[in-house]
Amino acid sequence: MSNKQHTYDAIVIGSGISGGWAAKEFTEKGLKTLVLERGRDVKHLIDYPTTNKYPYEFEHRGELTLAIRKENPVVSKCYAFREDAMHFFVKDKEHPYVQEKPFDWIRGYQVGGKSLLWARQTQRWSDLDFEGPLRDDFAVDWPIRYKDLAAWYTYVEQFAGISGNKDGLPQLPDGDFLPAFPLNAVEDYFKKTVSEKYEGRHVISARCAHLSQPRQVHFDQGRGKCQNRNLCQRGCPFGGYFSSNASTLPWAAKTGNLTLKPFSVVESIIYDEKLGKASGVRVVDANTKEVTEYFAKVIFVNAAAINTNLILLNSTSSRFPDGLGNDSGVLGKYVAFHNYSARISAEYEGLKEFTTDGRNPSDGGYIPRFRNLLKQETDFKRGYAAGFSAYRAPERDMSGIGTDLKEQLLHKNLGPWQVGSHMMGETIPKESNYVKLDKDKKDEWGIPLLRISIDYDENDAKMKKDYLEQLTGMFTEAGFKNIKANDAGQAPGLDIHEMGGARMGHDPKTSVLNKWNQLHDCKNVFVTDGACMTSTSTQNPSLTYMALTARAVDYAVRSMKKGEL
Amino acid sequence: MNRRLAIKQVLIFAGGLALLPSCLRNEGKVSIQLQHLDISAAQEKLLAEIAELIIPKTNTSGAKDLGLHLFVLKMLDDCYDKAEQEQFINGLKAFEGLEGAELKQLLTEANANKAGLAKEISQFFSIMKSRTIGGYLNSKYVMSNLVIWELVPGRYNGYFPVKTA
Ligand SMILES: Cc1cc2nc3c(=O)[nH]c(=O)nc-3n(C[C@H](O)[C@H](O)[C@H](O)COP(=O)(O)OP(=O)(O)OC[C@H]3O[C@@H](n4cnc5c(N)ncnc54)[C@H](O)[C@@H]3O)c2cc1C
Ligand code: SF4
């Protein structure tokens, strides 16, 4: 085939949350867009094999077999890797990597990426986050502020559909929300207790990407109201939650400008020395291993943070011997994540006149960051957000056997409320937390294996201690009993919020991307997934990737029109 | 991401009944296909009796009606390691030859974790009991008739009033 047939206006690498947005924005603006996805196609509704199964229709009732657990020590640790959604996760053996330090790398390689699997928690950043590195001197300054992103947050929220309340908090700006999922009796009670006893601490309804009350733009996507199934990781037959598969990709396809190629592993980005910019990408067919090149004026890298680093590091040329856009030498470094390694549970004997009925897909409550918010006040930097939820389960005495036991099993008497929280801590990006290419080992597609060297530090340990102390205190104030603080001790990675490696910054000497998510040194390549993050703050990151992506596409298309790219 | 408390799921996922009855029922062989376990037809029958003693038929279905012992075997075969499987079989042997009141007696003792009882017996019993219970609560029968599980609730009420007895 001639190059002409392989030439597009824009190429997007990866079809997950961020790539899906790039595809939607480019195609809507009339650009012929090629989306390259290394995994198989997953068509909304059609390719959700387990979506309507009852628990008893699973051979092991959801549980993993020993063989699967043994073969997959890493991905088995993810709470959502179970019999019903296993098929949307990368299995350990399929895509090995080198752990210089323990790192649980959880991946979804298919059309839609991890957007099928995510827990759909969505919060905006505020200037308390964007100004963090400068104020607390722990990373380079973000080249953007909230005002640069605010309108783009609104833009992506309106399309994706985000449920939440306008809580009026400076650390968690309000968005354009669909109605929130309500807190339940005990979540509300805890909210009240916390606001009465702690100045500046709040418990709010978790904000999430569910259509609690769809608008026309959601019906136009073919999506409907969330039906509270809480089986989202299987793919939703109602399109009730946001995934690329249900939302951005079909929307992009409708424009007629989208070419989506599954089974296309991007090996590298091709740099044209004469033009002084990237000309296209080199793709290995996942099945046949055949190599093909595709060309475009602009390239968006959206392979998910760590894989985006891999592609850039592997894109070498005489101009960029250490990876595309890596004049600074920081590419692959300053990787950070969220510290999810502690949780706490307890019981509450009150409010027994209530329970819950139906299911709440939002996960209950959310406690925005309250530590070091306006100024430094603890012996660690930054802070944590936390989840908070409460529920009741039947109280079943299982000590007997025979008819006694049987009666107990069907007993509908409820036990006390169970409450729980988990921490979501900010971590500090450091040069010593990095990913790099292995010099010898390659994968099946001829791409170097990635070596991952990421670890916690003292700041994380102090912050975790504080989380457990503070939440224990808050639980005690609320009269919760049987409080169990639990240091899960899990390796980084399981938070599935890896960020950085190609961070944004003002200065090409210390950062990889500029304020438009454009490589400082190769202007027609953009990175708008987690790799671009200068710092992590505490919010769940994906909403910010969506907003950054839409903004960067807008800028790229304007630049192209001016003949600048 | 945010994790719904896993505990909630435990009961939902523990067990049920969607096992295909094998058409190739050889004499002396167990009636479902097992990969690792070597179970005789007599042992299978004994397991069925034990399961029935744990969850008997009353005015609602019991373990035999729901084939819960087959679910236990399926789980034992696929989800436990060799050592646990061997312990299970060894423990089961202590029950072989027992019937009626005798069988019930030993089972009651195992359930009470009676002092002096062989370790294998309690190891066997703990898997047997928990998996029988899991299989029961997650059976189509229970989930459709007794403790209804809804695929599509379509609602959430955080202040659902509890009837006090
Ligand atoms: C269980 C779970 C719960 C989560 N909960 C939340 C949450 O509540 N809130 C939140 O904000 N985030 C959550 N996340 C994280 C969220 O899923 C990610 O932040 C988000 O999907 C990242 O989007 P992305 O586009 O960067 O990557 P992805 O969605 O992972 O998509 C990347 C795509 O690129 C493809 N790809 C990779 N390498 C190549 C290559 N070389 N060539 C071609 N294609 C390639 C992959 O196959 C994949 O399809 C969760 C994740 C998981 C797994
Ligand atoms: S909770 Fe809502 S989004 Fe999730 S599977 Fe259900 S209906 Fe779909």
In which band, very low, low, confident or very high, does the pLDDT at A1 lie, cut at 50, 70 and 90? very low
In which band, very low, low, confident or very high, does the pLDDT at A5 lie, cut at 50, 70 and 90? confident
Instruction: Report the b/e string of B48-74 with b at 16+ CB within 10 A.
Output: bbbbbbbbbeeeebbbeebbbbbbbbb
Q: Tell me if A516 sits within 8 A of A148, measured CB to CB.
A: no
CA gap A149, A130 in Å, rounded: 11
Please tell me whether residue A111 adopts helix, strand or coil conformation: coil
What pLDDT does residue A455 have?
Answer: 98
What pLDDT does residue B30 have?
Answer: 75
Q: Tell me if A211 sits within 8 A of A197, measured CB to CB.
A: no
What pLDDT does residue B32 have?
Answer: 86
Mean local confidence (pLDDT), B36-51: 96
- A48 Cα to the center of ligand 1, angstroms: 18
Does residue A411 fall inside a structural domain?
no
The finding on whether A115 has its CB within 6 A of some atom of ligand 1 is yes
Binary contact (A56, B140; C-beta < 8 A): yes
Strands (DSSP E) found in A92-185: 98-99
The finding on whether A238 has its CB within 6 A of some atom of ligand 2 is yes
Which residues in chain B have their CB less than 8 angstroms from residue A398's CB? 133
A16-20, A318-322, A379-383, B18-22, range with the lowest pLDDT: B18-22
Quick: pLDDT tens for A535-558. Answer: 999 999 999 999 999 999 999 999
Does residue A540 fall inside a structural domain?
yes
pLDDT above 50: residue A28: yes
Binary contact (A82, B13; C-beta < 8 A): yes
- A163 Cα to the center of ligand 2, angstroms: 13
pLDDT above 90: residue A4: no
CA gap A128, A139 in Å, rounded: 14
CA gap A33, A13 in Å, rounded: 11
Quick: pLDDT tens for A110-123. Answer: 999 999 999 999 99
In which band, very low, low, confident or very high, does the pLDDT at A379 lie, cut at 50, 70 and 90? very high
Q: Which residues contact A154 (CB under 8 A, 6 or more apart)?
A: A175, A176
Q: What percent of chain A has pLDDT over 90?
A: 97
Q: In this complex, which of B133, B151, B162 lies closest to A54 when CB atoms are compared?
A: B151
ipTM exceeding the 0.95 mark: no
Tokens of B120: 């294998």
Does residue A487 fall inside a structural domain?
no
Mean local confidence (pLDDT), A67-89: 98
pLDDT above 60: residue A33: yes
CA gap B158, A355 in Å, rounded: 7
Q: In this complex, which of B11, B62, B143 lies closest to A54 when CB atoms are compared?
A: B143
The finding on whether A114 has its CB within 6 A of some atom of ligand 1 is yes
What pLDDT does residue B22 have?
Answer: 39
Smallest CA-to-CA distance from A457 within A377, A556, A337 is with A337
| Mean pLDDT, all residues of chain A | 97
CA gap A120, A232 in Å, rounded: 9
Mean local confidence (pLDDT), A348-352: 97
Please tell me whether residue A242 adopts helix, strand or coil conformation: coil
Does residue A511 fall inside a structural domain?
yes
What pLDDT does residue A50 have?
Answer: 98
Which residues in chain A have their CB less than 8 angstroms from residue B50's CB? none
Its domain, for residue A292, covers: 1-45+106-164+209-337+438-453+497-564
* Among A226, A234, A242, residue to substitute to test ligand 2 (most atoms within 8 Å of Cβ): A226
Taking a contact as any Cβ pair under 8 Å apart, which residues of chain B between 65 and 124 contact chain A?
A: 74-75, 78-81, 107-108, 111
- Sign for the CA dihedral angle at B24, B26, B28, B34 comes to negative
Which residues in chain B have their CB less than 8 angstroms from residue A119's CB? 1-3
CA gap A372, A60 in Å, rounded: 46
In which band, very low, low, confident or very high, does the pLDDT at A11 lie, cut at 50, 70 and 90? very high
Distance from A141 to chain B by nearest Cα, in Å? 26
Mean local confidence (pLDDT), A205-213: 98
In which band, very low, low, confident or very high, does the pLDDT at A2 lie, cut at 50, 70 and 90? low
What pLDDT does residue B20 have?
Answer: 37
Quick: pLDDT tens for B127-139. Answer: 999 999 999 999 9
Quick: pLDDT tens for A192-204. Answer: 999 999 999 999 9
Smallest CA-to-CA distance from A207 within A245, A248, A240, A161 is with A161
Mean local confidence (pLDDT), A278-295: 98
Does residue A387 fall inside a structural domain?
no
pLDDT above 60: residue B2: no
Q: Which of B156, B160, B164 to mutate to test the interface with A (most CBs of A within 10 A)?
A: B156
Query: Tell me, what amino acid is at B92?
Result: L
CATH of the domain at A137: 3.50.50.60
Residue A482's alpha-carbon distances to A237, A475, A476, A479, B23, in angstroms, are 40, 10, 10, 10, 52
Smallest CA-to-CA distance from A109 within A309, A348, A307, A320 is with A307
In which band, very low, low, confident or very high, does the pLDDT at B163 lie, cut at 50, 70 and 90? confident
pLDDT above 50: residue B40: yes
Residue A70 burial class via C-beta count within 10 angstroms: exposed 0-12, middle 13-18, buried 19 and up: exposed
Structural domain total, chain A: 1
Nearest CA to ligand 2 atom 6: A229
In which band, very low, low, confident or very high, does the pLDDT at A211 lie, cut at 50, 70 and 90? very high
pLDDT above 50: residue B16: no
Quick: pLDDT tens for A484-514. Answer: 999 998 999 999 999 999 999 999 999 999 9
Residue A216's alpha-carbon distances to A160, A161, A174, A296, A354, in angstroms, are 12, 11, 21, 34, 35
What pLDDT does residue B13 have?
Answer: 36
Mean local confidence (pLDDT), A364-377: 98
* Among A90, A94, A118, A324, residue to substitute to test ligand 1 (most atoms within 8 Å of Cβ): A118
- Run of H or E including B46: helix B41-54
Point out which residues pair with A121 in neighbouring strands: A208
Mean local confidence (pLDDT), A428-442: 98
Does residue A321 fall inside a structural domain?
yes
